[in-house]
Amino acid sequence: MKHLLLALFLLLASYTSYAQSVKLEPYWDSGLKFKSENERYHFTVGGRVHFDVGYQQHGAVLDTIFEPIGPRINVRRARVNFTGNLDGVIEYDFEFNFGEEFSYSDLYIAFLKVPGVDRVTLGYLREPFGMEEQTNANRLVFMERSLTNAFGTNRNVGIRIEKHMFGNKFSVFTGVNRLTDDLSDDVTGEGAYSFTARMIYSPLMQEEANRAVHLGLAGGSFAPINNTYHLETQNEANVEVMYVRTPMLENVQQVRRLGGEVGYTEGRFCFQGEYMHAFAVQQEQAATLTRNFNSYYLQGSYFITGGTRKYRRSYNNFSSIQLKERSEADKLRGAWELGLRFSSVNLQGVQAEFGELKNMTVGLNWYFTASSRLMLNYLHGRLQNSYTIQALQLRAQVSF
């Protein structure tokens, strides 16, 4: 798969050399940006740092089953990215992670003038499955994604095709991906291909009232590596304990995924929810079994002062933050956002010691700018309806 990425970079380099005589003027707008005089060429240098402090408690009984946990301080994300647009024909996004290990986040090139479609994207990118999964972490209401993240497709090398119709009210995304690791290397074994599609209908969008409706449906299937499959998820907190997990399932011929999305925003209020279901088709001797796993979340957020969360039709999510007033060095205005989320995951389609988890998360965000903020999350969870898990987390987020 690295050969494909190399070919894309050579294509980008050849196009860039063709336009190398274009003069770019630098300026600052929430990041270092460059643009040509005719505004047909753009280039941006950006980055982010998420610094977390957290404390989680799960009781003495769970201490005997999982590793004891306590305070945790770490850099959750440290990334730098380079994005650009070449003459309205090509867009690109190269983002790199810096931590204990170097890895890619996004590494793709998009072609914007392909006949019959609106966009064809090639490279290392997210598969089109789930609204929260497609939302940039800088724009999430809460510090961590919901429990539906257990079904997340993450990033892989592949191709994604987009088509927007009926005044951008209806959108279709399809993707074919090769399962790879964080450095885009092939994961060895039989299978390893994923097919995904997502359809979005947004019948209402009123800019002045900040009113929008979002409906979505996604599905996909893949043959797991070497016919083995398992699911696991954290507790919507930045900890290493995987409370809910399935055993490794053998002889799994195919995994099918189905997801539903709903969202609504009006004024300073925003609501969204998702349901995801996975069907693991397993061959056991002469019998074919279908294992069922599911998860959902419902969340709402409200800007108490100073801002709104808007719907972005081009991304089909509620990720555009607009502040009424920007903070200045001598006057810290910003905006306050309050969030509440309920989520659940059920992995008891197979016998597992811990297969069910339900969470409630309360979040409070203070925005210094639209992409830089302080976040405070309190989480209360119930494992197997028997054990209580609590977490308190604080994040300082700087993004440009």
The string of pLDDT tens digits covering residues 342-379 is 999 998 877 777 889 999 999 999 998 888 999 999 99
User: Beta-carbon neighbour count of residue 15 at 10 Å?
Assistant: 16
Token readout for 246 is: 């399935």
Q: Is the per-residue pLDDT at 332 higher than 70?
A: no
pLDDT band at residue 26 using 50, 70 and 90 as cut-offs:
confident
Q: Is the per-residue pLDDT at 109 higher than 90?
A: yes
Token readout for 195 is: 């097919």
Here the CATH number for the domain that contains residue 51 is 2.40.160.10
Residue 139's SS3 state is helix
Residue 207's SS3 state is coil
Q: Is the per-residue pLDDT at 185 higher than 80?
A: no
Residue at token pair 């279901």: 277
Residue 151's SS3 state is helix
The strand pairing partners of 24, in sequence order, are 36
C-alpha to C-alpha distance for 313 and 334, rounded to whole angstroms: 25
Average pLDDT over residues 10-39: 71
Residue 188's pLDDT is: 47
Q: Is 347 exposed, middle or buried (0-12, 13-18, 19+ CB in 10 A)?
A: buried
Q: How many domains is the chain partitioned into structurally?
A: 1
Q: Is the per-residue pLDDT at 51 higher than 50?
A: yes
Residue 336's pLDDT is: 95
Q: Is the per-residue pLDDT at 331 higher than 90?
A: no
C-alpha to C-alpha distance for 347 and 284, rounded to whole angstroms: 19
Give this prediction's pTM. Answer: 0.89
> Which of these, 42, 273, 315, lies nearest to 160 by C-alpha position?
315
Token readout for 115 is: 């006949």
pLDDT 10s digits, 268-326? 999 999 999 999 999 887 788 899 999 999 999 999 998 999 999 888 899 889 888 66
Domain that holds residue 247: 2-399
